[in-house]
Structures are given as C-alpha cells and as structure tokens.
Amino acid sequence: MHASAEADARHLGARNLVCTAPGGQWGEDDILVDRADAGEALTLSLFHLDRGSRPRWLLEWRPRRSLARAVRGWERWARAKAARTRAGARARSRVKGRTRAKVAKVRAAKGRGGKGGKGKAKAKVVIEPHRFAGVFVSKGKDDSLVTRNLVPGESVYGEKRLAAEAEEGEEKVEYRVWNPFRSKLGAGIVGGIEQMPVKPGAKVLYLGGASGTTVSHVSDMIGPEGVVYAVEFSHRSGRDLTNMAKRRPNVVPIVEDARQPQRYRMLVGMVDVIFSDVAQPDQARIVTHNASFFLKNDGWVVISIKANCVDSTAAPEAVFASEVDKLRKDGCKPKEQLTLEPYHRDHALVVAVYRASKKKKKDE
Ligand SMILES: C[S@@+](CC[C@H](N)C(=O)[O-])C[C@H]1O[C@@H](n2cnc3c(N)ncnc32)[C@H](O)[C@@H]1O
C-alpha cells in the first residue's frame, strides 16, 4: 500500500487498514477498507484515491449491507453525478448558443474564477444578513449561506468567493460560500437552529478543528474582536489548521488531544462557547472536562453527535438522548437538539447552557 495514501487515510480516522488492490499496491480507483471494531459492532469505512494523491473518504459500510453492494451504490452515484455535470454543461452552452470556449471567455471577462474558487471573486451578487449576526445569505437562483471573508482574496478550502455590490465610494466586501455538506455548524444554521452563541466578538473553544474548514467560517463570524482556539490532535490536519491560522489572527491552533485540556491550559482563556465535533464515543466527557477548565458559567456548549461513533448498534435517537443525558449530568442544561439530515446522516447538533445561573433559569 502506498505509504502516503495509508498515512492520509489514517488521518481521516482509519485505524486497521486493508487495501483491496491486487498485491496491496495502491493505485487510482482502488479502495482502501478500514475495519474499526466499535464495541461488538464492526464498521468498515472505504477510502478512494483522489486523482492519484490523497485518499478521499467514501462511505461507511453498515453491517446490514453487503460491502460489494455499498461500493456498487457509490459507483452508481458517482457515475450519475458525472453524467449530470456533463449534461448540465452541454445544456448551458446550448441555451446560450456558445461553444465551450466562448463560455470560458465570458466567464473570464466577468472575472469569475475557474474551479475551486481560486480565481478573482468579482461576480456581482446580492448579500443579505442572516438572522444570526456574522452570517449572511447570498440571494440568487439558489440562496447560499456565506460568511464575510476576514482575509479578502483568499479561499481556505477551495470554496467559492463572492464580491457584493457596494455603494459608490464604498469598498467591496468579499464573502465565502459555506457548504453545509462540509460543516456540521453550517448544516445546523441552514437546518434552522434557533440559538447561535458563535457571534461577533465571541471567544470560542473548538474541539476537533480538523484542517480548519468550519474553523475558518467561525473565524469570519466572530471577526477581529473574537478568538477561536481550535484543538486538533491529528498532526497532518493540525498542519493545515496552523497554516490557515497564519493568515487569520483570531485563530489559535492547538495540536493536542482534547482529552488532556491541562496540556493547553496556558494557551486558552475563559471562553463563551465550546463547539465540539470530535466524533469520539466519549465526546460528552471530553466537552464537560474542557468546560470545567475554560467555559464561563452560563456559557454555551454546541456539540455535533455522530450516532454511530458512540454506538453503532443503537438507534440514532436513543444515542442522542443518552448523550444529552450525559451532558445534563455534568452541568449542561440542554436547550435545543436538531438533526443534521439531509447534510449529515445520523448526526444531531445539541445546544446547551453550562452551569446555568438560578436567575437565568427563572428568566427562562
Ligand atoms: C469530524 S472531524 C471535524 C471536522 C471539522 N469540525 C470541520 O467541520 O471542519 C473530527 C476531527 O476531530 C479530531 N479529533 C478526534 N478526536 C480528537 C481528540 N481527542 N482531540 C482532538 N481532536 C480530535 C479528528 O482528528 C478529526 O480531525
């Protein structure tokens, strides 16, 4: 198996890897299978080599389905997606009566970037504030969630950038599109969560920062007055996170295990919010342990729960209920629970208040 492919898959969470390629030689289109024993249940995750370099997480195989069927399902989906993309491109050039080359020229003239949002962000768009401070909506054929880019001119993970129309004499403001499929917090906002403690000026402890996809949007939301301490224990993801933080002064990257908050207590001040997305079976304990170090009384806990990371044999609703119970026992008063379908299957976002004061309790 190709060593760097294996290392990448491990950083994506794979533990016990088996390569399906003949002779264990990792090549394009091969699938890497991760066997992870979670208690009694066996979960298999598939990884796929992405354009010859990094494996991409494909799907998680549930013991109920056959592995071959799961792979076939994924291949069908990928083929249909590719066909839709091709058909869409053909239809667009037919409608406009232009060849592909002409379409590309028009795009360039409009100042739109090519793939991955790496080009200049000059397309004119209308942006409206979302009901949560620090979040905006780009109005168009399909509305999309955006945050105001703290570092104009730069994308973090290839996301699209949009320049809003400005009044005469005003500077243009740039926004970054926030894809709810790539972020639990983004999915919670699009899904209609009612309270959002991550707001301009907030101090946030973010557990499970990964490469910084959502952390970067949190950084946009809190703005220059806020700070986000992002904890991530994978060194590879931590490297990306640290590089991203070099351009964003309100991000403090911490490459450490969130189970050991005493190791980073010198770096983190008291915070208003803990956001956690560590996808670990003991996440509730990790969060309340960090809360006892860093979260002020009446501070907020926002936690993304992936049901099958906690117990892959129980019904997701039962897992969510037992996790909420653990939080409650450790001083968190649950306020809200929201499922993240259709963006993240069998995930829920839970919002709670830590050590709610009596006065606040009465007010509610
Ligand atoms: C689901 S991913 C987080 C994705 C990220 N929140 C985002 O939206 O961009 C979970 C991350 O938590 C990290 N993680 C898991 N256990 C951890 C621990 N004990 N301490 C710190 N990070 C941990 C993993 O390495 C992984 O990068």
Best residue among 11, 231, 234 to mutate for probing ligand 1, ranked by most atoms within 8 Å of CB? 234
Predicted confidence (pLDDT) per residue in 151-160, tens digit: 999 999 999 9
Is the pLDDT confidence value at 243 over 90?
yes
Whether 41 contacts 57, CB under 8 Å = no
* Per-residue model confidence (pLDDT) at position 7: 65
The stretch 292-301 carries a mean pLDDT of: 98
Give the position, in ligand 1's atom list, of the atom nearest the Cα of 259: 19
**Spatial distance between the Cα atoms of 99 and 176, rounded to a whole number of angstroms:** 30
Residue 278 alpha carbon to ligand 1 centre in Å = 4
* Per-residue model confidence (pLDDT) at position 144: 94
Whether 43 contacts 308, CB under 8 Å = yes
pLDDT bin (cut points 50, 70, 90) of residue 102 is very low
Give the position, in ligand 1's atom list, of the atom nearest the Cα of 210: 27
Higher pLDDT, 95 or 289: 289
Give the position, in ligand 1's atom list, of the atom nearest the Cα of 286: 19
* Per-residue model confidence (pLDDT) at position 164: 79
Give the position, in ligand 1's atom list, of the atom nearest the Cα of 11: 25
Residue 98 alpha carbon to ligand 1 centre in Å = 46
Residue nearest to atom 27 of ligand 1 (CA): 210
Predicted confidence (pLDDT) per residue in 24-83, tens digit: 455 544 455 555 544 434 445 555 544 444 455 555 555 455 556 655 666 666 667 667
**Spatial distance between the Cα atoms of 345 and 357, rounded to a whole number of angstroms:** 35
Best residue among 254, 268, 276, 278 to mutate for probing ligand 1, ranked by most atoms within 8 Å of CB? 278
Best residue among 277, 310, 345, 346 to mutate for probing ligand 1, ranked by most atoms within 8 Å of CB? 277
Q: Would the pTM of this model clear 0.75, i.e. be above it?
A: no
Is the pLDDT confidence value at 104 over 50?
no
Task: Report the pocket of ligand 1 as residue ranges, CB < 6 Å.
Answer: 183-184, 208, 210, 213-214, 231-234, 237, 257-259, 277-280
Q: Point out the least confidently predicted range of 3-12, 166-175, 186-195, 259-268.
A: 3-12
* Per-residue model confidence (pLDDT) at position 171: 73
**Residue 62 structure tokens:** 């549930």
What is the secondary structure of 291-327 as a DSSP string?
HHHHEEEEEEEEEEEEHHHH-SSS-HHHHHHHHHHHH
Residue nearest to atom 26 of ligand 1 (CA): 210
The stretch 93-98 carries a mean pLDDT of: 54
Q: Residue 104 corresponds to which amino acid?
A: A
Best residue among 183, 217, 233, 347 to mutate for probing ligand 1, ranked by most atoms within 8 Å of CB? 233
* Per-residue model confidence (pLDDT) at position 13: 56
**Spatial distance between the Cα atoms of 11 and 21, rounded to a whole number of angstroms:** 20
Q: Residue 138 corresponds to which amino acid?
A: S
The stretch 235-264 carries a mean pLDDT of: 96
Residue 148 alpha carbon to ligand 1 centre in Å = 24
**Residue 17 structure tokens:** 């890897």
Provide the phi-psi class of 331: left if phi over 0, else alpha when psi is between -120 and 50, else beta. left
Give the position, in ligand 1's atom list, of the atom nearest the Cα of 182: 8
Is the pLDDT confidence value at 86 over 90?
no
**Residue 40 structure tokens:** 């009694």
Residue 292 alpha carbon to ligand 1 centre in Å = 20
Predicted confidence (pLDDT) per residue in 328-363, tens digit: 999 999 999 999 999 999 999 999 999 998 765 555
- Phi, psi angles (nearest 5°) of residue 257: -85, 125
Residue 209 alpha carbon to ligand 1 centre in Å = 5
Residue nearest to atom 15 of ligand 1 (CA): 278
How high is the mean pLDDT of the chain? Answer: 80
Best residue among 159, 232, 306 to mutate for probing ligand 1, ranked by most atoms within 8 Å of CB? 232
Q: Residue 150 corresponds to which amino acid?
A: L
